[in-house]
Amino acid sequence: MDRQEIEELRAKVSCGAVLEADGWKIDIKESTRRAVKYRRVDGEIIIVIHDGAGWFDPLSDAKGDVFGLAEHLGATGFVQALERIGEVVGLAPSAPTWERPARDRPPATLAGRWQARPVPRPGSPTWRYLDRTRGLPDTIIRAAIDQNVLREGPHGSMWAAHTDAAGRLIGWEERGPKWRGFSTGGGKELFRFGDLDPLRVCITEAAIDAMSLAAIAGPETRTLYVSTGGGWSPMTDAAIADLARRRDRMLVAATDANRQGDAYAERIRGHAADGGCRFSRLTPSSEDWNDQQRARRGEMTGK
């Protein structure tokens, strides 16, 4: 097979098709339009990106194209990978139905789009989503608004700002009753909520988890709650490394109580060791902190 034929094969076969042929299933709850999460019964995870042309394993450093995926799944060498890819030519992967249509380009600058959205207010669709659906107390919602890290998204969704160390907006997490994603054209670093000169940094996987943990912990000083936004971008990695450089600081891996959360916790532990700061692992009693907060809210209200 010559190079042109290889490139044609690469263009024809999606990473999603290879995974589904191997028995993997889409986790629609944890997927976005640009990052589709596949799971296997043994707990393995693969994220398919670039419209099916690329993939990465969030539990390791493995990543690549469709041929690299075939080898990752067990093909011995490139020749066997070619054979496996050839077997799934014409197989279309499942196509999740997203609630919002894709846009070719953002309609305005990030800052302009952010400023154009209203802040949540008591009784608004986003406030009701955070309060009633997610179980966040009013005090936490108001504190996040005061720190300018929340906006009303479309259809009752929440936008939670990701900023750099200087406080500049670079993107936002989008969560709602029927939508999960990240800002089109935005960068993922950290959602930051709490003390911006902290002695303790609690690192979670979602902005709602960060706010939920703050609610569970109650009033605390010198604590910053951050979210990686469900992934681990190079900017996120660099930001956590920067936070670890103060020896009087503690990094708390408050990631989910599952295999992915444990893998992220080990990365955080490594940054703490490299930076010379203290480290702690904190796990929720449920799978994530919002599950725990909603259960706690139910116990408090009798619902």
Residue 147 has pLDDT above 90, yes or no: yes
Name the DSSP class of 91. P
Beta strand 45-49 with 36-39: parallel, antiparallel or unpaired? antiparallel
Residue 102 has pLDDT above 70, yes or no: no
Maximum mean pLDDT: which of 44-58, 104-118, 215-229:
215-229
pLDDT of residue 121: 96
In this prediction, residues 264-292 reach a mean pLDDT of 96
d(CA 250, CA 27): 33
pLDDT of residue 195: 95
User: Residue 250: how many CB atoms within 10 A of its CB?
Assistant: 17
In this prediction, residues 263-274 reach a mean pLDDT of 95
Distances (CA, A) of 165 to 170, 190, 205, 266: 11, 9, 18, 23
Residue 103 has pLDDT above 60, yes or no: no
pLDDT of residue 126: 96
Residue 7 has pLDDT above 90, yes or no: no
Lowest mean pLDDT among 56-60, 81-85, 136-140, 169-173: 56-60
Residue 253 has pLDDT above 70, yes or no: yes
pLDDT of residue 291: 96
pLDDT of 62-78, one tens digit each? 889 999 999 999 888 88
Residue 198 has pLDDT above 90, yes or no: yes
User: Residue 110: how many CB atoms within 10 A of its CB?
Assistant: 19
Residue 185 has pLDDT above 60, yes or no: yes
Residue 209 has pLDDT above 60, yes or no: yes
d(CA 173, CA 232): 13
Q: Which is higher by pLDDT, 290 or 59?
A: 290
pLDDT of residue 92: 67
pLDDT of residue 106: 47
Average pLDDT, the chain: 89
In this prediction, residues 130-156 reach a mean pLDDT of 96
Going by C-alpha positions, the residue among 220, 278, 217 that lies closest to residue 249 is 278
pLDDT of residue 3: 78
pLDDT of residue 227: 97
In this prediction, residues 106-112 reach a mean pLDDT of 75
Residue 107 has pLDDT above 60, yes or no: no
pTM of full prediction above 0.85:
no
In this prediction, residues 248-266 reach a mean pLDDT of 94
